[in-house]
Amino acid sequence: MKNIVLFGPPGAGKGTQAELLRDRYKLVHISTGDVFRYNIKNQTELGKLAQSYIDNGDLVPDEVTIHMLIAEVEKNPDAKGFIFDGFPRTESQAIALDEFLAKKNSGINAMIALEVPENLLVERILLRGKSSGRSDDQDESKIRNRFKEYQTKTAVLQDFYQKQQKYFGINGVGSIEDITLRLQKVIDQL
């Protein structure tokens, strides 16, 4: 099994790249954003709770996120592996994921981070917001708050995975094809 954490700040291109890698490596793509949107659209209890945090530009609490994502993994018992897009976002989520995968005699093979300058990310997200309809993609102050949350809570995962020798940072600027090739180079060596 290959289990990849695709990492990076909002707007780095994780979703786009995860879909391309999913097809190439026959992995299941689990996007935290997609899982949240499904739960929100269907007005589940977790969805309503998640929406209240998202509307404020905050990250959804660990307990809510962990329960949603583990349920998604359980829906795919025959998977060759997973690409986790937007999860884990905190060290406690990473620990919970490691413990869960260990029970399945598996683990994370690599965390690959897409590295992109913040100003370029803001431009990308505002552009995406014109077509996505997502309220958190249309307000620059909410976008910048997401970056602040990312830096204070999420970026610590770099150290977590570096200690396990599973962290790989790649340049996330360039054409979609160039970025995909950089990602494949890392994955093919796992």
Catalytic positions are 14, 89, 128, 134, 146
Any known ligand binding at 88?
Answer: yes
Any known ligand binding at 151?
Answer: no
For every residue of the chain, DSSP letters joined together read -EEEEEE-STTSSHHHHHHHHHHHHTPEEEEHHHHHHHHHHTT-HHHHHHHHHHHTTPPPPHHHHHHHHHHHHHT-TT-SEEEEES---SHHHHHHHHHHHHHTT----EEEEEE--HHHHHHHHHHHHHHH--GGGS-HHHHHHHHHHIIIIITTHHHHHHHTT-EEEEE--S-HHHHHHHHHHHHTT-
Any known ligand binding at 117?
Answer: no
Any known ligand binding at 10?
Answer: no
Any known ligand binding at 47?
Answer: no
Any known ligand binding at 57?
Answer: no
Q: C-alpha angle with apex 36: 33 to 39, nearest 5 degrees?
A: 150
- 61 within 8 A of 116, measured Cβ to Cβ: no
Any known ligand binding at 144?
Answer: no
Any known ligand binding at 129?
Answer: no
Any known ligand binding at 182?
Answer: no
Any known ligand binding at 16?
Answer: yes
Any known ligand binding at 172?
Answer: no
Q: Taking each helix axis from N to C terminus, what angle separates 14-25 and 176-187, rounded to the nearest 10 degrees?
A: 50
Residue set of the binding site for ATP: 11-16, 128, 174
Residue set of the binding site for AMP: 32, 37, 58-60, 86-89, 93, 134, 146
Residue set of the binding site: 11-16, 32, 37, 58-60, 86-89, 93, 128, 134, 146, 174
